[in-house]
Structure 1
Amino acid sequence: MAKATSDRNTIDLFGKPVGRPRRQPLNRKEQLKRNKRIQREKEKALGMKRLELVIDQSIIDKLDQLCKLDDVKRAEWLTNYISQKYDSLSASQLKKAASS
């Protein structure tokens, strides 16, 4: 089938597809992978480390309730609690823990 330049009723066989122009050359899956990598690099530059925990669902539920009370995320709540606990320890307790 030949394409006639004057024909406006048939689909343009050799041109660009009709629709919204693509602004991102990557597909959605690749975009998400790229964005996650960039996020990890930013966190690393800020001196943050990733931590993975495997804990019981009942503990997670309790943690979520505590976070909801303080209106903070899990990571922020855990960071605050650990900092408070560490600050409340005396120097002798810290030396004892470090030596064992």
Structure 2
Amino acid sequence: MAKEQLDRTTLDLFAEDRRPGRPKTNPLSRDEQLRINKRNQLRRDKNNGLRRVELKINAEAVDALNKLAEQRNISRSELIEQMLLAHLHTQQD
């Protein structure tokens, strides 16, 4: 029986073929890598004095924040922080 390159129905014929793709460079699974990276990110944030705050706002407000943050060349998170601090400072005066 001839081995046809496009025929993938007979898997045993292609068991030795190397499939194209990115070579594995880390012995950990992708899920474990993500879990470790997230833990490290949370530690870095904590060391930098950052605390996590989550909120839900409508898409129109998010679009406006994104546009303003892009104009100011800062992240949306930085923009929200600046706006909150400015509002809090005006409330104290």
Q: Shorter chain as normaliser: what TM range?
A: 0.5 to 0.7
1:64 to 50, 58, 66: 66
Matches within 5 A, 1:1-100: 23-91=25-93
Fraction of identical pairs, as percent? 31
Q: TM (normalized to structure 2)?
A: 0.65
Q: Which amino acid aligns with 2:54?
A: E
More relative contact order in 1 or in 2 (CA 8 Å, sep 6+)?
A: 2
**TM superposition shift of 1:23:** 4.7
Q: TM (normalized to structure 1)?
A: 0.61
**TM superposition shift of 1:53:** 1.0
Structure 2, unpaired ranges of 5+: 1-22
Larger Rg: 1
**TM superposition shift of 1:29:** 2.1
Distance 1:31 1:89 in 2: 44
CA-to-aligned-CA distance 1:12-38 (integer Å, 9 cap, x gap): xxxxxxxxx865221222111101111
List, as ranges, runs of 4+ consecutive aligned residues in structure 1 with deviation greater than 3 Å: none
Alpha-carbon RMSD across the aligned residues, in angstroms, is: 2.1
* Alignment length (residue pairs): 72
Distance 2:83 2:59 in 1: 20
Q: 1:22 to 1:57 in 2, by over 3 A?
A: closer
Distance 1:22 1:67 in 2: 37
**More divergent stretch after superposition (49-58 vs 79-88):** 79-88
